[in-house]
Chain A
Amino acid sequence: MTGEARISRRWKKAPFIQNPRLRWAIYIGAAVYLVLAIASVEVNWTRIVDGIPRGIKFVGAFFTPDFVSRWDDIYEGFVESLSITGASTVLGLLISIPIGLGAARNISPLPVYLVCRSIIAVSRAFQEIIIAILFVAMFGFGPFAGVMTLSFTTIGFISKLLAEDIEDVDKEQVEAIRATGSSWLQLMNYAIQPQVAPRLVGLAMYRLDINFRESAIIGIVGAGGIGATLTTAFDRYEFESAAAILLIIIVIVMGAEYASGYVRNKLT
């Protein structure tokens, strides 16, 4: 290359997607999708304008929350929500430990592995609420359906992460214990447990946190907890009571998050 040629050498930032056809296809595709999607949204402006004063009233309600008039319902709702949280976390944890062991490829035979992995996949595929609908249909209205729902979703969460943890354990430690002629249970107890136990406690705390958040909404489909009280408050346009419930939820969620963060920090 001569000096002359370089004087006029252009430079442009290389595009992120190298293939120009693919690049334009993606750009145009995205633009077309956005236009179609936005066009298909039906906005009822009069209804929204009507709603503005109600919205303002609702925001105002957060400054004057009413804990008193529906206190009995609120109290019972929260006791039920917290009970669901506690019971489902413990139950879910108890079931997810064996499933998590089964879903770890390095310690389980293939058939067990496949069965456990399918259970996890099923549990993770659907939203909590959808599972709650099914369980309410099976077990009837009430907190039992809620406990079943959250236990079931806890299994998918904990087992999967636990299995991944076990698959990541230090192989040499496992071999060393196996070399002593230990049984399978002794192997779990001496080689696997010490390596994954702290993470498991952390996961359990994290799931406790999630389960509380979820227990606050599964009541909307009749699976017990504060969600039912909240829906009722909304249906009756009792914004002050609804605001009170939401504020309590926020406080508990923040408390739980802080506590679980604290415990997880201590463990690591």
Chain B
Amino acid sequence: MPTRTLNGTKVWQRRDRATQFRIWLGWLIGTAVFLYCWRIISENTEWEFVQDAHIQALDMASRMVPPRWSYTPTILRPLWDTINIATLGTVCAVAIATPVAFLAARNTTPSLLVARPLALMIVVSSRSINSLIWALMLVLIMGPGVVAGIVAITLRSIGFVGKLLYEAIEEIDERQVEAIIATGASRPQVLLYGIVPQILPAFAGISVYRWDINIRESTVLGLVGAGGIGLELQASVNILAWNQVTLIFIAILGSVVLSEWVSAKIRHAII
């Protein structure tokens, strides 16, 4: 009860004592954890470098402008590669993720004991590893280049697309499916007429959304050698050519804005 009697008068409290205590304890633990984290970071940090950060920042800023426009032709090809990595990677991922999603969805899986856990495992392992780590591994295995980037984007996106898609499949209206079954349609026809029309908007929306994310992700894959504009970024940062970095940033920003516009347009057209 949030009221208690003190010296014969009723006193109103927002919470009773136990709740209040738990809330304070929560804050206490939270603060302690934060301070502990901060201590570890502080121990591993060279504070002299942090102290002259403003000097570094000013220096960087002054070197960043004006952008080195003459560098533009050099980054056109890597930019094209970046967009290809994102697009081809998304296409491959969607192609693989679609059957995986049908295996993973409770209502379409051929077997709950074998196929579903297997499909879920593919989804989970793909999702847990960042595309940059995938790229790191793939560059080591298949050598640096665009192919490693495409495969890295594919491997990361399978889990993302697969998860959202199988959730969409599980949410379909079963009555529409039942009606198609009742006409005597075969299993593939039930899929085609009863299920596919229902998930098509989700399917397109998810694919375009992931493509949008992949454009951003593919800009940095070059840092580990997996092709695209990240390679140029790495090279420019290494030689401290900050005016080139500015130009690369402008290019990245442009493609991100463009991809966002395109994906918004497509999603709008579908719904």
Asked if the two chains touch in their complex, CB atoms less than 8 Å apart, one says yes
The answer to whether A254 touches B53 (Cβ under 8 A) is: no
The answer to whether B87 touches A37 (Cβ under 8 A) is: yes
Q: Is A109 among interface residues, defined by CB-CB distance under 8 A?
A: no
B57: which A residues are within 8 A, CB to CB? Answer: 138
| Complex CA distance for A126 and B128, rounded to whole angstroms | 21
9-residue interface stretch from B165-173, B185-193, B216-224: B216-224
- What's the minimum C-beta distance from B146 to chain A, rounded to whole angstroms? 5
The answer to whether B41 touches A87 (Cβ under 8 A) is: yes
The answer to whether A127 touches B56 (Cβ under 8 A) is: no
The answer to whether A230 touches B49 (Cβ under 8 A) is: no
| Complex CA distance for A58 and B252, rounded to whole angstroms | 33
Name A76's closest neighbour in chain B (CB-CB). B44
**Interface residue ranges of B120-158 to A (CB < 8 Å):** 124-125, 128-130, 132-133, 136-137, 140-143, 145-147, 150
The answer to whether B146 touches A42 (Cβ under 8 A) is: yes
Q: Is B233 among interface residues, defined by CB-CB distance under 8 A?
A: yes
Q: Is B1 among interface residues, defined by CB-CB distance under 8 A?
A: no
Selected A-B contacts with CB under 8 Å, 11 pairs: A37-B88, A40-B84, A41-B150, A44-B147, A48-B143, A80-B41, A84-B37, A87-B34, A142-B46, A142-B49, A254-B124
The answer to whether A234 touches B132 (Cβ under 8 A) is: no
- What's the minimum C-beta distance from B71 to chain A, rounded to whole angstroms? 17
The answer to whether B49 touches A140 (Cβ under 8 A) is: yes
The answer to whether A86 touches B87 (Cβ under 8 A) is: no
Query: If the complex has contacts A42-B146, A86-B33, A143-B41, are A133 and B237 also in contact, measured as CB distance less than 8 A?
Result: yes
- What's the minimum C-beta distance from B39 to chain A, rounded to whole angstroms? 8
A contacts with B, residue count (CB < 8 A): 58
Q: Is A217 among interface residues, defined by CB-CB distance under 8 A?
A: yes
Name B81's closest neighbour in chain A (CB-CB). A40
- What's the minimum C-beta distance from B29 to chain A, rounded to whole angstroms? 12
A217: which B residues are within 8 A, CB to CB? Answer: 130, 132-133
- What's the minimum C-beta distance from A3 to chain B, rounded to whole angstroms? 27
Size category of the B interface is 35 or more
B233: which A residues are within 8 A, CB to CB? Answer: 130, 133
Q: Is A231 among interface residues, defined by CB-CB distance under 8 A?
A: yes
A126: which B residues are within 8 A, CB to CB? Answer: 249, 252-253
- What's the minimum C-beta distance from B108 to chain A, rounded to whole angstroms? 23
B36: which A residues are within 8 A, CB to CB? Answer: 83, 86
Name B256's closest neighbour in chain A (CB-CB). A125
B34: which A residues are within 8 A, CB to CB? Answer: 86-87, 90
The answer to whether A38 touches B88 (Cβ under 8 A) is: yes
The answer to whether B80 touches A40 (Cβ under 8 A) is: yes
| Known contacts A83-B40, A142-B49; 9 further A-B pairs (Cβ under 8 A) | A48-B142, A58-B137, A126-B249, A126-B252, A129-B220, A130-B252, A133-B233, A237-B140, A249-B133
B140: which A residues are within 8 A, CB to CB? Answer: 54, 58, 234, 237
> What does DSSP make chain B's interface, helix, strand, loop or mixed?
helix
Q: Is B235 among interface residues, defined by CB-CB distance under 8 A?
A: no
| Complex CA distance for A144 and B53, rounded to whole angstroms | 11
- A227-268 CB mask vs B (1 if < 8 Å, else 0) is 000110010010000100010011001100000000000000
Name A128's closest neighbour in chain B (CB-CB). B220
| Complex CA distance for A58 and B133, rounded to whole angstroms | 14
B249: which A residues are within 8 A, CB to CB? Answer: 126, 130
- What's the minimum C-beta distance from A189 to chain B, rounded to whole angstroms? 12
Q: Is B7 among interface residues, defined by CB-CB distance under 8 A?
A: no
- B38-60 CB mask vs A (1 if < 8 Å, else 0) is 10110011100110010011001
Task: From the candidates A37, A44, A51, A220, name the one contacting B141 in the complex (CB within 8 A).
Answer: A51
**Interface residue ranges of A16-72 to B (CB < 8 Å):** 33-34, 37-38, 40-44, 47-48, 50-51, 54-55, 58
B145: which A residues are within 8 A, CB to CB? Answer: 42-44
| Complex CA distance for A83 and B219, rounded to whole angstroms | 27
The answer to whether A37 touches B49 (Cβ under 8 A) is: no
A139: which B residues are within 8 A, CB to CB? Answer: 49-50, 53, 56
A249: which B residues are within 8 A, CB to CB? Answer: 128-129, 133
- What's the minimum C-beta distance from A85 to chain B, rounded to whole angstroms? 8
The answer to whether A230 touches B252 (Cβ under 8 A) is: no
| Complex CA distance for A47 and B142, rounded to whole angstroms | 6
Name B130's closest neighbour in chain A (CB-CB). A217
The answer to whether A41 touches B146 (Cβ under 8 A) is: yes
B33: which A residues are within 8 A, CB to CB? Answer: 86
Q: Is A202 among interface residues, defined by CB-CB distance under 8 A?
A: no
- What's the minimum C-beta distance from A99 to chain B, rounded to whole angstroms? 19
| Complex CA distance for A246 and B133, rounded to whole angstroms | 9
- What's the minimum C-beta distance from B251 to chain A, rounded to whole angstroms? 12
- What's the minimum C-beta distance from B43 to chain A, rounded to whole angstroms? 9
